[in-house]
Amino acid sequence: MSDFIGTKLTMNLGERSYDIIVKRGSLENLYQFARLDRRVAVVTDSGVPAQYAQMVADQCKDATIITVPQGEASKSFKILETVLRQMLDFGMGRGDLVVAVGGGVVGDLAGFAASIYMRGIDFINCPTTTLAQVDSSIGGKTAVNLAGTKNIVGAFLQPCLVVADPDTLATLPPRHVANGLAEAVKTGLIGDAALFELFEKGGAQQSVEEILYRSLAVKKAIVEADEREAGCRAALNFGHTIGHAIEASRGLARRQLYHGECVALGTLPMLESPAVRARVRRVYRALGLPVRIRYDGDEIYSHLVHDKKAANGAITLVKVKQPGSYRLERVPVEALRAVIGEGIG
């Protein structure tokens, strides 16, 4: 067992600074960290155990629970409008609060709703999946999808607070846990060699709180240095350029790959050392993540052309030679044809 004790990080962004709580039992004690004496819209999805949203609502003076369908399809304008209408019907004003209780989809959707309702109201993120707790819950990116392109319409809205309660992970299936840990492996590769080595030692399940803390600490430092992704924040896209294209592929729909699984696959071509690539593959196999895939290279390339990070025919790649460090390389999008080929592994 890890001897790591739950703690607090602070995202230092001047007037937009906020605390990140990593502690067991923190969700049922949200009232200790947040002002809940106002109207609160608790947004969740049908795949999240209902008791988590109810746990938050019970701590509020006046709350409504808004439940959207589970899955990436809920990151749409149709569902966004449904959420906004329910907020309006509830009589929410500029001094009120949106709380997301769920995974990355819920956080993206609820955060975007909060960012545009009355030109912006307070938002708290309570991630309940490994993926959201290690990565997507902090940083301020909110979005929905459009025309098959992920996160193409959105806004930056820093939350007032993030509460990551590891107890909520107990209800996740093993594949969902591994899906989130893929993002933590990514984080170790770009910014924390000791975090990556923790995975190599095989103690991930026993060290989940330390993994959460170390992953969030790396991302926090990057966001503080580059909140709007004008420079080093691009490092967080490691594995995502090809990973998002794999995730969007209709030809791979039958595989039903999760986001973290796609990111894991997307990291492999960006590893510049064969020895490091072999080490990463061993970690992925141990976690139950995929290490090889075949696809239609033309389809994958078509998604890369429309990647929101591509501009003027070029795209920035994040490459890793040794765990704990990275470099950014601007390349013509056309050059990715040779990189993606017809598969990975």
pLDDT tens digits for range 313-336: 899 999 999 999 999 999 999 999
Whether the predicted pLDDT of 136 surpasses 70: yes
* Count of residues making up the chain: 345
Reading the block at residue 323, the tokens are 């765990």
For residue 304, which of 250, 241, 234 has the smallest C-alpha distance? 241
Give the pLDDT of residue 1.
Answer: 37
Q: How many CB atoms lie within 10 A of CB 225?
A: 10
Task: Report the distance separating Cα 99 and Cα 58, nearest Å.
Answer: 13
Token pair in block for residue 4 = 């790591």
Q: What is the mean pLDDT of residues 140-150?
A: 92
Domains, the chain: 7-171 (3.40.50.1970), 174-344 (1.20.1090.10)
pLDDT average, residue stretch 67-82: 97
CB atoms within 10 A of CB 331: 12
pLDDT value, residue 4: 43
The long-range contacts involving 74-79, CB below 8 angstroms and separated by at least 24 positions, are 74/45, 74/105, 74/106, 74/109, 75/105, 75/108, 75/109, 75/143, 75/144, 75/145, 75/150, 75/151, 76/144, 76/145, 77/144, 77/146, 77/153, 79/109, 79/144
Determine the Cα–Cα distance for residues 284 and 261; give it in Å rounded to an integer.
Answer: 9
- Give residue for tokens 């993606």: 340
The CA distance from 226 to 312, in Å, is 22
DSSP lists the bridge partners of residue 30 as: none
Taking alpha carbons only, the member of 60, 217, 196, 243 closest to residue 139 is: 217
CB 270 within 8 A of CB 239: yes
**pLDDT score at 3:** 45
Provide the 8-state DSSP code for 135: I
Residue 145 CB burial class (10 angstroms; 0-12, 13-18, ≥19): buried
- What does the mean pLDDT of the chain come to? 94
Q: What is the pLDDT of residue 6?
A: 58
pLDDT in tens, 30-61: 999 999 999 999 999 999 999 999 999 999 99
The encoded tokens of residue 159 equal 């939350």
According to DSSP, the residues that pair with 102 across neighbouring strands are 127
pLDDT of residue 256: 85
Q: What whole-number distance in Å separates Cα of residue 191 and Cα of residue 233?
A: 12
The kind and range of the H/E element at 328 are strand 327-332
- The residue with tokens 């998604």 is 303
pLDDT digits 0-9 by tens, 2-32? 444 558 999 999 999 999 999 999 999 999 9
